[in-house]
Structure 1
C-alpha cells in the first residue's frame, strides 16, 4: 500500500475515532451530568452546548470522517474485492446512516426545536415540558449515533489491520 493510501486510511481512522470518542464521552459523562440539573439549567445548558459544538474543529471531524471513509472505500475497490474494501464499505455506510443521517434527520431538528424555546419568558411548567419533549428523543438518537460511530471505528481499525489482497 502506498504512503498516500496509508495516510488516507489513518485520516479516516482518526476522524472516525474522534467522533466515536466525542459521542462516547457524551454518553458516559455529559448526559449523566446534565440529567442531574434542574429543568431550567438543563434546557439552558443544552442550548449552550448545541450552539458551541457548531465550530470548525467539530465540523472537520464530523464531515471529514465520511469523506475520508468514502475516499478510502473507493481507493480500495479492486477486483477481486478485498476484505479491506468490504470493511471500509461497511464503516462508510454505518457512519453515513447511523451518524450523519441520524444527526441531520433526528438530532438537528430536535436541537432546533430546543433553540427556538425562550427559557427567559417560559413558566417552570413550560420549561419542564420542553425538557421532556427534548431529552428522551435526543438521548435515544444520540445512543444510535454513539453505537454507529463505535461500530464504524471497529470496522476501520479492522480494515487497517487486514492485509490488502492484491
Structure 2
C-alpha cells in the first residue's frame, strides 16, 4: 500500500509542477513580456515572492523527494517501473530542480535586490535585458524537463503493470 501511495504522490507532485511551468511558459511569460520595463520587473518581483509558499513547495520539492523514494520502493518490486521512475527522477531532479536552483533562483535573487523605485528608465531597461532572456530560456528548459518527466510517468502507467499486489 505504501508503495502505491508514494507513487501516487510522486506522480501528482511532478504533474502539478509540469502544469505550473507549462502554464507559465505559454501564458504568463508572453503576457509579462508585453509590459513596459518597470511593470515587467515589478510583476516578476511580486510573482517570485508570492510563489514561495507551501502549496508550491509541496509540488516542486515534493517531486524532488517523492520520485527518488518511489524509484527506490520499486527497485525489488517491479524492475520495469523502476527504470521508468529512475528516468523520471533524473530528468526532474536535474532538468527542473537543478535548473531552477542553479539558474532561475540566482536571477530571481538579483531581481529582488533591485530597487525599482530609485532606478532610471535606462537602468530598468538594462536590468530587464540582462534578466528576461536568460530567465525565460532557463524556464523553457525546466518546462521541457517537467513535461518530459510527466510523459515518462504517463508512459510508465500506460505501458507497465504492477507486478506485485500488496
| TM-score tier (shorter) | over 0.9
How many residues align structurally? 163
Greater Cα offset, 153-162 or 20-29: 153-162
1:91-142 Cα distance to aligned partner (Å, 9 max, x none): 0000000011000000000111111111100000000001011000000000
Matches of residues 84-99 of structure 1 in structure 2 within 5 Å? 84-99=81-96
Structure 1 residue corresponding to 2:10, chosen from 12, 20, 28: 12
**CA distance in structure 1 between the partners assigned to 2:22 and 2:89 by the alignment:** 19
The alignment's C-alpha RMSD in Å is 1.3
**CA distance in structure 2 between the partners assigned to 1:116 and 1:74 by the alignment:** 40
**CA distance in structure 2 between the partners assigned to 1:66 and 1:55 by the alignment:** 16
TM-score by length of 2: 0.94
Unpaired runs of at least 5, structure 2:
none
**CA distance in structure 2 between the partners assigned to 1:69 and 1:157 by the alignment:** 14
1:48-85 Cα distance to aligned partner (Å, 9 max, x none): 00000011111111110121101110001028x72211
Structure 1 residue corresponding to 2:124, chosen from 123, 127, 137: 127
Structure 2 residue corresponding to 1:114, chosen from 111, 114, 127: 111
What secondary structure, in the 3-state scheme, does the structure 2 residue paired with 1:121 have? coil
The residue number in structure 1 matching 2:146 is: 149
